[in-house]
Structure 1
Amino acid sequence: MNADSALLANDRVLGCVLAGGQSRRMGGGDKSLMDLGGKTMLDMILTRLKHQLPDIILNANGDPGRFQAFGLPVVADPVGQYAGPLAGILAGLTFAAETRPNVSHVVSVAGDTPFFPETLVERLCASVPADRPVISLASSADKLHPVFGLWPVALRRDLRKWLETGKSGKVLAFVDRHDSVEVSFDIDPQTGLDPFFNANKPEDLTRVREVLSQSPL
């Protein structure tokens, strides 16, 4: 860790859970709200993230009332309709710029990845300088997971222009425009899974339930 990165304290980082996907491979609906045996995937994600950050929002489209029980701000995509994770990241950056003057970065977390690392925020923050805008992305097993990233609020205008002018909605296409670093994470010793295992299909939910039955988290 360098001296500059140590300045990225928790009160300068906003957590943004990207919970607004259309879940086509799950048959539609909110997969983050599906029951996993007394808890939802979003319950699990928020439990992990709240241990790392005090300030969290949800990015989701449609009726925000379905997330009312979580007691968190729900922010819709500011551009397009279901424009993908970049639009959700822009939602977090815009919310931070408009309501959190002390926040300089947003950590994005996928809403379908219940076992993401408990050191995610700490390690992403430690990987970037505080004096210039550098994006930090998580990886595991030599694979990037661009939805899990640390995003400087200073890049919000460029991201909005990128999306409004119809550029690629792929995260890495935007990242390639800016300085970025990669932070690698190991297999989760508690679950034996890749920490970025995501539940995209019904059989993935079955796997999550099996893990919870063996070792409730």
Structure 2
Amino acid sequence: MNEPVGVILAGGQATRMGGGDKGLITLNGVSLLGRVRVRLQRQLNTVILNANGDPDRFEGLGLPVQADSVTGYAGPLAGVLAGMDWAAGQGASHIVTVAADTPFFPRDLVARLQQAGSDLAMAVTPDPERGMARHPTFGLWWVDAREDLRSALQGGVRKVVQWTEPRGCAPVEFAATPYDPFFNVNTPEDLKKAEAMIAEFDL
């Protein structure tokens, strides 16, 4: 396996934040996307952004921007496919995806996903009710599976686990203490909680 390409998934519509680009909202003076970019670039040399619309609004990030090839906001899988297509053009065998609204994801995310020994892996955390909580936008994906994924999207598949589960996706467990590393900012209240987490855990 050569080094994966990092793909930040920012193709959503941010409806719970009132629409617009949630990733450009600032958290203690730095945009969510800026925080995610730095954290991922410390783990991978090549990072791109999956986003739709005018790419110029992300010019300050200094990242290549790849739009969905599937129309109609088809969800995270469309962003995964966009990342796969871009990575294929660079000769990369895998991509690692992260969500644009999750600024505290593990600093060893990429290494741990690669250690799973699978071409398809997904982050999970312990959950008292469900046993394990899956984090479908945090995963390792095999680029050669892109035509299979493209067909699935064209056939109406939208949920990540609907595609990954039958294909032997390996779960990779991360600790959920002392804070949830996959805490994502969906609402103004979440933004305040994230600010408190930064102060408490020096994030």
Given the two structures, how large is their TM-score scaled by the length of structure 2?
Answer: 0.93
1:154-199 CA distance string (max 9 Å, x none): 1000000111122x200000112312110000025xxx32111111
Give the Cα–Cα distance (whole angstroms) in 1 for the partners of residues 153 and 71 of structure 2. 8
CA-CA distance at 1:215 after TM superposition = 5.0
Q: Does 1:140 align with 2:130?
A: no
1:78-117 paired onto structure 2 within 5 Å = 78-98=69-89, 100-101=90-91, 103-117=92-106
Q: Secondary structure at the match of 1:112?
A: coil
4+ runs deviating over 6 angstroms: none
CA-CA distance at 1:108 after TM superposition = 0.6
Q: Which residue of 2 aligns with 1:27?
A: 18
Give the Cα–Cα distance (whole angstroms) in 2 for the partners of residues 126 and 49 of structure 1. 17
Give the Cα–Cα distance (whole angstroms) in 1 for the partners of residues 162 and 200 of structure 2. 39
Which of 180, 185, 200 lines up with 2:186 in the alignment? 200
Give the Cα–Cα distance (whole angstroms) in 2 for the partners of residues 157 and 108 of structure 1. 18
Q: Secondary structure at the match of 1:176?
A: helix
Which of 141, 155, 160 lines up with 1:151 in the alignment? 141
Which of 34, 37, 41 lines up with 1:46 in the alignment? 37
Q: Match of 1:176, as an amino acid?
A: E
Q: Match of 2:117, as an amino acid?
A: V
Give the Cα–Cα distance (whole angstroms) in 1 for the partners of residues 49 and 202 of structure 2. 24
Q: Which residue of 1 aligns with 2:7?
A: 16
Q: Which residue of 2 aligns with 1:5?
A: none
Q: Which residue of 1 aligns with 2:129?
A: none
Q: Secondary structure at the match of 1:196?
A: coil
- What percent of counterpart residues are identical? 47
Which of 184, 197, 216 lines up with 2:173 in the alignment? 184
Q: Which residue of 2 aligns with 1:74?
A: 65
Q: Match of 2:66, as an amino acid?
A: V
1:93-136 CA distance string (max 9 Å, x none): 011112x11x110001011111100010000011124xxxx310
Number of aligned positions between the proteins: 198
Give the Cα–Cα distance (whole angstroms) in 1 for the partners of residues 169 and 179 of structure 2. 26
Give the Cα–Cα distance (whole angstroms) in 2 for the partners of residues 215 and 108 of structure 1. 24
Q: Which runs of 5+ in 1 are unaligned?
A: 1-7
Give the Cα–Cα distance (whole angstroms) in 2 for the partners of residues 215 and 125 of structure 1. 27
Q: Match of 2:148, as an amino acid?
A: D
CA-CA distance at 1:202 after TM superposition = 1.1
Given the two structures, how large is their TM-score scaled by the length of structure 1?
Answer: 0.87
Q: Secondary structure at the match of 1:198?
A: coil
Q: Which runs of 5+ in 2 are unaligned?
A: 127-131
CA RMSD of aligned residues (A): 1.3
Give the Cα–Cα distance (whole angstroms) in 1 for the partners of residues 188 and 29 of structure 2. 17
CA-CA distance at 1:200 after TM superposition = 1.0
Q: Secondary structure at the match of 1:145?
A: strand
